[in-house]
Structure 1
């Protein structure tokens, strides 16, 4: 009987929203107690923000594909050092950290390719 059970997911699927269909809004989410991640329409990857709001993780099914500490990868952070918003794009994930710091994360590898502070 135990063999018939599905493996336990490493994240809470109830806290994952589905990426909206193309044209139905921005594929983004704000981490909160009700939402911790988003499932990509393209390949089913779940992008998850850790409970401390520092790391972004990618899961393919119940397997961890990659994880990266986005907060640590940003050289300068204006405001509280935590992930505030995640926006999915085809090859790049745009992450807002703090009030005005933005990071670009490679969707395939999890590597932070760029971080910058928005100037007034």
Structure 2
């Protein structure tokens, strides 16, 4: 067999493999089954409590998925399968009353409101992931 003919047949054999590899979607860095969709305005609260059944929420506005890490300390944002930002919300709170863990996440338009512990609240910039404020509610 001549070398040009061999190359032609080798190329024909490689094409189906390359086409199948392009059809496969990359695996998401989070479990999509544990992500709830943000409800439409007026249809419910755009909030979630991290649990074994729910770890994140997909925002309607920009399609980002906001995910709470398994140790309940970090909030991560994914645009598609790409990590947009990650921040240690619990570590950014100087004072935490109760367990040092994220207890609830509420999506706003530009700000994400995070309840940490029993009475600590943090505000996170939705674009950058920077914690802009952390306060303790006094009782």
Name the TM tier (shorter chain).
Answer: over 0.9
Unaligned runs of 5+ in 2: 1-19
- Looking at structure 1, the residues matched to 62 and 105 of structure 2 have their Cα atoms a distance apart, in angstroms, of 17
Matches within 5 A, 1:58-73: 58-73=77-92
Where do 4+ consecutive residues of structure 1 move more than 4 Å? Answer: none
TM-score where L is the length of structure 2: 0.86
Determine the C-alpha separation between the residues in 2 that align with 1:70 and 1:102: 10
CA RMSD of aligned residues (A): 0.4
* Structure number having the greater strand percentage: 1
2:113 match: secondary structure:
strand
1:11 and 2:30 correspond = yes
Q: Which has the higher helix share?
A: 2
1:34-71 residue CA offsets vs partner (Å, 9 max, x unmatched):
00000000010000000000000000000000000000
Larger Rg: 2
- TM-superposed CA distance for 1:2, in Å, is 1.8
Aligned to 1:51: 70
